[in-house]
Amino acid sequence: MAENQYTEDNIRSLDWKEHIRLRPGMYIGKLGDGSSADDGIYILVKEVIDNCIDEFVMGNGRKVSVKIKEGKVIIRDYGRGIPLGKVVDVVSKINTGGKYDSKAFKKSVGLNGVGSKAVNALSSHFLVYSVRDGEKKSATFCRGELIEESKIEKTEEQNGTYVEFVPDETVFKKYAFKTPYLAKMMWNYCYLNRGLTINMNGEKFFSKNGLKDLLENNMDGEPLYPIIHLEGEDIEVAFTHGKTYGEDYYSFVNGQHTTQGGTHQSAFRESIAKVIKDFFGKNYEASDIRQSIVASIAVKVMEPVFESQTKTKLGSLEIEPEGKSMRAFINDFLKEKLDNFLHRNPDVAEVIERKIKQSEKERKELSGIRKIARDRAKKANLHNKKLRDCRVHFTDTKNVLRENTTLFITEGDSASGSITKSRDVKTQAVFSLKGKPLNSYGLTKKVVYENEEFNLIQAALNIELDMDDLRYNKIVIATDADVDGMHIRLLLLTFFLQFFPDLIKRNHVYVLETPLFRVRNKKKTIYCYSDQERIDALIELGKTAVITRFKGLGEISPDEFKHFIGEDIRLEPVILSKDSSIDEILSYYMGKNTPARQEFIINNLRVEEEVKEDVGDSKKKKIEKAS
């Protein structure tokens, strides 16, 4: 057996752009195609805007302009502008930036001299220019390579920095920006920076009341009592209780949305339970106090420590430079501010205690049922019969790789069999439904434990008590593209929205798109996801092409299926808009067959017929020829 050679020839040094392009995950997390809120293309946008926010925080520039169209991103702030002599260095020399000077940027948001370089290196086109006091300097790059650098010239433009970039399609394949994800990002910037105005694609984002506005705009239904809004030095908190199940948190550090929480969120959960118990002088269960809570917390920390480069989870245990623990800092703040508020507002305190007692009663009523349900799940031998798990859960004991995991929920044995044979066993799991799930709209959580399918799904996801140990980052509904498949999809979404809305609010739920047709000739095969794609494929391949209609997932061979759940996977995220009310959505779609729903169906059928009538003659001929 030949011995592996390890010599000087094996050692190579990469320049900054080569390293970023070779290991993009180290700088922007996962790549993705834009279907997830934390995909790389959104991190690129965030890194540029973070620099604008740092300027605003330092009192320079009160507005930011953002334009995103057809893959091109343009961001313009009106701060001080990059010093003209350093325009090229700031975006192309690693470990270069103003954020190393703590006097200029006390509690910075950006990646400390890395962010803009990562955007530059991962863009096929990158243009930056800075305006300072009537002078302008610009530079153009391609994949981090300087293409053109202008001389300093006179200008009448307002001070600030302009960045324009196009994500590199060789890195971000078939990507597309989704407006709801971008809008959520802009709103969060404004909630955390009151007085800042962001204009994105003609829409204005502005917040007057910070985290209070965040809860008002994101809560489902009316709160049980007016939102409690507390502020202190380097900390802001807003919370109330709603009518949904679970706990819903929005946490931030130095303006960064920590979607996976961290030490500050854990400290808040612990402290709010402690302060409320102490106020009432009763040893209530913490879970009963927090049941149905909707809360947001934002802290500012010197030199925060995050658990990943993309800063989705805070790891800092202390508040610098005071040296106080995060837990003590947040507990002391709530002990003073919240305790005072409750004493001054006894009517609110009364509502809170009534809610705690209600949660306590429901928990005790469910305790017996829960035990029976757990035993039933064990007897069902979950991991062999219903769930074909992925290997990550057996090898990655520290859950480092959990963000890469996916659970496909399928209908029937034939569909689950195709996916099981073609999946990546390391990270992809399959859960097989038996028949149609129950319509859970309007039912209590008791049904989650009494209904076998719901109980087993809950057990597979590990979400009985909270989402902290969610076993899969992506939950993909994979049903047939027919009426029955659509019905099952709606029933599953009803189940998640009714009992586990956080799964959807935190962007964990997706729908798998699979092709309706396969069009092929001797030279080429095209998979079509719509009638229009089928028509286009027929026009391209000609009369000799053969069309196959996929009626169900079980009819697609494993060899073909691996394309649809591999690199070419198409996922449609389930997104709740800012104005969506879960109760209204469920009532409309899953409640009694109301006249409003009948009218909607009839009107949309009419619209579809009108569209068909409006197709031009030339296009009609093409369609007729192709068909």
Q: What is the CATH number of the domain that holds 462?
A: 3.40.50.670
Let me know whether 613 and 483 are in one domain. no
Q: What is the mean pLDDT of each run of 10 residues along the chain (627 residues)?
A: 56 71 83 87 93 89 94 95 92 65 51 76 95 95 94 94 95 90 94 95 95 91 93 93 87 85 88 95 93 92 67 66 78 94 96 94 82 69 70 65 84 80 90 88 86 88 81 91 85 91 89 89 89 91 88 79 83 81 77 72 56 46 47
- What tokens does 75 get? 């961001």
Is residue 525 a part of any domain in this protein? Answer: no
Let me know whether 357 and 428 are in one domain. no
Q: How many domains does the chain have?
A: 4
Let me know whether 574 and 467 are in one domain. yes
- What tokens does 254 get? 């130095």
Q: Are 505 and 512 in contact (CB under 8 A)?
A: no
The whole domain housing 242 covers: 211-361
Is residue 7 a part of any domain in this protein? Answer: no
Let me know whether 598 and 495 are in one domain. no
pLDDT for 1: 46
Let me know whether 467 and 578 are in one domain. yes
pTM over cut 0.85? no
pLDDT for 63: 95
Is residue 60 a part of any domain in this protein? Answer: yes
Is residue 316 a part of any domain in this protein? Answer: yes
Instruction: Please say which residue of 333, 361, 389 terminates a domain.
Output: 361
Q: What's the residue count for the chain?
A: 627
CATH code of 330's domain: 3.30.230.10
Q: Which residues contact 40 (CB under 8 A, 6 or more apart)?
A: 24, 28, 29, 30, 31, 32, 122, 167, 171, 172
pLDDT for 352: 96
State how far the Cα of 236 lies from the Cα of 299, in Å rounded to an integer.
Answer: 7
Instruction: Please say which residue of 361, 390, 409 terminates a domain.
Output: 361
Let me know whether 158 and 28 are in one domain. yes
pLDDT for 359: 92
CA 427 from chain centre, in angstroms, equals 19
CATH code of 178's domain: 3.30.565.10
**Helix intervals (H) in 482-594:** 483-499, 501-505, 531-541, 558-564, 582-590
Let me know whether 503 and 605 are in one domain. no
**Helix intervals (H) in 162-304:** 179-192, 211-218, 263-280, 286-290
Is residue 535 a part of any domain in this protein? Answer: no
Let me know whether 228 and 199 are in one domain. no
Is residue 111 a part of any domain in this protein? Answer: yes
Is residue 371 a part of any domain in this protein? Answer: no
pLDDT for 610: 47
pLDDT for 381: 53
Let me know whether 432 and 572 are in one domain. yes
Let me know whether 616 and 483 are in one domain. no
Q: What is the pLDDT of residues 119-177, one digit of tens each?
A: 999 999 999 999 999 999 999 999 999 999 999 999 999 999 999 999 999 999 889 99
Let me know whether 43 and 123 are in one domain. yes
pLDDT for 46: 92
Instruction: Please say which residue of 177, 205, 233 terminates a domain.
Output: 205
Let me know whether 350 and 418 are in one domain. no
Is residue 520 a part of any domain in this protein? Answer: no
Instruction: Give phi and psi for 3, each to the nearest 5.
Output: -85, 135
